Amino acid sequence: MNIKISKNYIKIAFWLSIAISILEHFTSFLDEYSFIDFRYATFQRFLVNSLMEVTISFLISMLLFVVNYYLLRPFQLNKVNKFMSILLAFLISFIVVVFLTHYLFMLKESIFARRDSEGFKFIYLFRDFITAFAVIISTLVIQVINQNQKNRLEIQNLKIENLQRQFEAFKNQVSPHFLFNSLNTMNALIREAPDIAQEYLSHLSMVLRYTLQANENKLVSVQEELKFVDSYFFLVKLRYGNNIELHQKISDALMGHKMPPLALQILIENAVKHNEISKRNHLEIIISEISNETMQIKNNINVKYNQEKGTGLGLANLTNQYRILSGKEISIYKDDNFFIVELPILKI
């Protein structure tokens, strides 16, 4: 996980630190200015003293912004109790401010060979409190704004990836090669098996309609996706015959849960694309549930002699979809015999 402070955060913290440091000393500057002797040496001393005080406060504020960026990350990531993380950050910030202001301003007073205060003044403690509070609130606001911007960017990227995935799927379905083979198959079926030709046309229509309508919904039910897979696999099986098999082992309890549209189609298409399918090497694809939250798609591996080099976009887009929509990851692994993908089932 990237924990590096962004340049944008540093830039905002810089200007906020300047504002906080000026506002902290503004009233005291006015009070001192009203009693100042305007002789050159005295006025120069006032300017140098004022600049040093603002500089010290600026450095302390910047340090607090850096410290609180890390202290408040649990708040942003929602990994611990929000109130406790904010309270801890404030207490640490307040202690740091009190410690640094005491010693740095004492150093400044020694340089000027005078003490600006005699003993402890409550106003200084109150000023330290305001500094810590202002930095905490500013850091929280910055992180909330940045998180909202990040969420909007991820949603936008998801929309783009979703459109790309659907375009690729649709392009594969309506490519001239696909339509040519489909029409040839239908022509042969009309002559030899009219009943199957009617069923073929029905499944082909279902595949094209589902693909075109997939961009209307970010999620579909497992039942809808499996129904689409039945139609898609009907077309595939007519091409490969008994050399390819699809088995579904999904309980009724999972049918109402959600998943991204075309997710199973991508995995079946990958299996068909990257494996040899023949009488000698059958391809078996199994869709099953391994828990009430996870679906597994598994196929045996029959490596082609002339392996097609895939782009990897299908699996990459599917991974990003799950990550953005649910914060969950899909699992992809293989051994010598099987290629396996595990998809989380979304209970929405």
Q: Would you state the pLDDT for residue 264?
A: 93
| pLDDT averaged over every residue in the chain | 77
SS3 193: coil
DSSP conformation letters of 137-183:
HHHHHHHHHHHHHHHHHHHHHHHHHHHHHHHHHHHHHHSHHHHHHHH
Give the C-alpha separation, 227 to 46, whole Å. 81
- One-letter amino acid of 22: I
Give the integer Cα–Cα distance in Å for 283 and 120.
83
The CATH label, of 3.30.565.10, 1.20.1250.20, 3.90.550.10, 3.40.50.920, for the domain at 175-344 is: 3.30.565.10
**The whole model's pTM is what?**
0.53
Q: What is the pLDDT of residues 276-294, one digit of tens each?
A: 999 999 999 999 998 888 9
Q: Is 327 left (phi over 0), alpha (psi -120 to 50) or beta?
A: left
DSSP state at residue 303? B
The residue ranges of every structural domain in the chain are 7-153, 175-344
Most confident of 68-82, 110-124, 164-178, 289-303: 289-303
Per-residue pLDDT tens digits for 214-269: 767 778 999 999 999 999 999 889 888 999 999 999 999 899 999 988 889 889 98
**Alpha-carbon distance 94 to 100, whole Å?**
10
